[in-house]
Amino acid sequence: MNKRHKQVKFILPGFIFYTCFIILPIIYVFYLSFFQWSGLGEMKFNGIQNFVTIFTDERFSPVFFNALWNNIKYLLCVWLIITPFQYLMAYLFFIKIPAYKYLKFMIFMPYVISTTIISFFATLIFNPNIGFLNKFLEAVGLEHLQGAWFGDPNWAFKLMILLILWQGAGSGVMIFYSNFMDISKDVMEASRIDGCTEWQRFTRILVPLSLPSCASVITMSTIWALALFDLPFILGGAKGGVSGSLDFVNLVFYRYTFGSALNGKSEIGFGASICVVMFAVMLIITTIQNKVLKKFEYDN
């Protein structure tokens, strides 16, 4: 091997595997989206017909838009509820509220538990027949408050947000927290000597200095918000819950690709085009979001 290309033998194995199993599939999905193909037999080139079907088919497009709307609703919850919650939590740990070490340990713990098990816990608590919550309400004489919980379209979405808040918030809290800890002690000290109030320190020092990390956390949670699958699938079933209250784009994709919901046969090409649309939405939203977040960034 040429002496000047020593790096090749180190990079090549990783490059091959990574390209084959991570990058190639992304390109392949774009290619597939232009075909009509059931997975067996001949692939028929279909142009943009699949995309036309997604947006105009009178049977499919309401389902799709309902799912997309749920994704957007969830994304808004991430921006307006989950991220502020994480930020606040990180701040509380930063100012060392009593027992903060224990709290930090416990609040991050659900993060290492699988979403399947989180759904299992949710079943224990919210199952309408044997779940703990309904039994508890019965025991204290509040039967009229009993509900079908995940079987109730008014409750399902809200409960899912609570579950995600409980399980998924930990990672963001830790990232915000570690960024607070990175802020130079001198700055904090100086602010204290200058007589900053706690509120001033929070708004004038912590918030501006931790914005770059916020940007990356928000970008990642946006991507994951649009790719949400596990919890609604396990708790609401592949059909997306009662009257589509837990239906998300990814569930639609799964149903139509592997579950043969369009014409009674599996539609690989059609499924791929749903993926492409989802990917495009993701790109558009993260691009806009980064533009907006850049505006708030300080030069430091």
Using the contact rule CB under 8 A, the part of the chain among 57-65, 73-81, 144-152, 217-225 near other proteins is 217-225
In angstroms, what is the minimal distance from the CB of 185 to other proteins?
A: 10
Binder of other proteins out of 68, 253, 261, 285 (CB under 8 A) = 253
Task: Please say whether the beta carbons of 250 and 160 come within 8 A.
Answer: no
Kindly identify the residues of this chain, within the stretch 115-134, that bind other proteins according to CB under 8 A: 115-117, 119-121, 123-125, 127, 129-130, 132
How many CB atoms are located within 10 Å of the residue 93 CB?
20
Task: Please say whether the beta carbons of 35 and 41 come within 8 A.
Answer: no
Binder of other proteins out of 154, 178, 200, 243 (CB under 8 A) = 178
Size of the site for other proteins (CB under 8 A): 86
Using the contact rule CB under 8 A, the part of the chain among 43-51, 61-69, 210-218, 287-295 near other proteins is 210-218
CB nearer other proteins, residue 79 or residue 175: 175
Q: How far apart are CA 3 and CA 149, in angstroms?
A: 66
Using the contact rule CB under 8 A, the part of the chain among 44-52, 55-63, 147-155, 212-220 near other proteins is 212-220
Phi-psi label, residue 149: left if phi above 0, alpha if psi -120 to 50, beta otherwise: left
Task: Please say whether the beta carbons of 173 and 89 come within 8 A.
Answer: yes
CB nearer other proteins, residue 28 or residue 65: 28
End-to-end Cα distance, the chain: 46
Q: Is the dihedral of CA 24, 227, 289, 64 positive or negative?
A: positive
Q: Give the H/E segment covering residue 94.
A: helix 83-94
Kindly identify the residues of this chain, within the stretch 18-47, that bind other proteins according to CB under 8 A: 18, 20-26, 28-29, 32, 39
CB nearer other proteins, residue 37 or residue 60: 37
Q: Give per-residue burial for 232-245: e unless 16+ CB within 10 Å, then b.
A: bbbbbeeebbbebb
Task: Please say whether the beta carbons of 55 and 273 come within 8 A.
Answer: no
Of 230, 103, 255, nearest in space to 177 by CA: 103
In angstroms, what is the minimal distance from the CB of 56 to other proteins?
A: 23
In angstroms, what is the minimal distance from the CB of 90 to other proteins?
A: 11
Interface with other proteins, residue 199, by CB under 8 A = no
In angstroms, what is the minimal distance from the CB of 117 to other proteins?
A: 6
Kindly identify the residues of this chain, within the stretch 74-103, that bind other proteins according to CB under 8 A: 92, 95-100, 102-103
Binder of other proteins out of 234, 246, 252, 285 (CB under 8 A) = 234
